[in-house]
Amino acid sequence: MKHKNLLFLSGLIIILTVCLSLWSNAFDCGDVNIDGNINVFDITYTISYLYLGGPPPPEPRLADINNSGEINIFDVTDLISFLYLGGAEPNCPPPMGPPYGNLVNIIDCHERGYIKVSIEEDCIEYTYDGASTLLIKHINAGFNCCPLQLYSNISIAGNQITIYEYETFDTAGPCPCMCLYELNYEINNLPPGEYTIEIQGQCVYPDDDYLEYTADLVSSPVGEYCLYRGYYPWEDWGAKPGN
């Protein structure tokens, strides 16, 4: 009986070892198509992506064979060298942590001295670096003209990026005027893909739409989306709310 138990435990250890080996290999550097193997299909997958309009790698860092920060023909040649010519092992970037975002800069209406878009528009402008960093500008964000602080809360859940914007005041409270600001955000550790960006601003009427846009960061890494706001502070800087 003891002998049978030992055989069973030995067999279980072997099975677990094989499974763990397969699991770890599935995410090895160079396994571009994530099929658990590094072979010619990873080479053809990368070539198709680079030159034939094929889909992007499911995990882009696994295709960055030489850890250069981008995927290009040198990753293809390095993978060929590793597989068939005794070249160096692939050296991909380490796995990214979870995505996170920060408000990195605020340009208020007194500092701007210009209007990039119509003052009747509330806009998102974005730029993606193709790997992990998304820059978002909220242009013509409406706030009080003398807040103590502007701040935000950024939520990233799956393919949804939601930015909640707030303002605080000192003991004197808000001023009797409004301004259009530019808020700049940076989202890090964001893999390529399609994302919905939603900005919930302060001055939007309860029955009006929040600023929301779905961007395919692979096919359109740069873009802009605007909503028309036909009321103060967007429509007329000298008007009052409701007029």
User: Residue 175: which domain range?
Assistant: 100-228
Average pLDDT over the chain reads: 84
pLDDT at position 136:
98
Residues 11 and 116 reside in one and the same domain: no
Number of domains in the chain: 2
**Stretch 29-45: mean pLDDT, rounded?**
93
pTM for the whole structure: 0.68
Residues 117 and 216 reside in one and the same domain: yes
pLDDT band at residue 12 using 50, 70 and 90 as cut-offs: very low
- In order, the DSSP letters of the chain are -HHHHHHHHHHHHHHHHHHHHHHHHTT-TT-TT-SS--SHHHHHHHHHHHHS-PPPPSSGGGG-TT-SSS--HHHHHHHHHHHHS--PPP-PPPPP---EEEEEEEE-HHHH-S-SS-TTEEEEEEEE-SSS-EEEEEEEEEEESS-SEEEEEEEEETTEEEEEEEEE--TT---S-EEEEEEEEEEES--SSEEEEEEE-SS--TTSPPEEEEEETTT-SEEEEEEE--STTTS-TTS-TT-
Domain containing residue 80: CATH number: 1.10.1330.10
Residue 31 has pLDDT above 70, yes or no: yes
Residues 196 and 133 reside in one and the same domain: yes
pLDDT at position 118:
62
Residues 136 and 167 reside in one and the same domain: yes
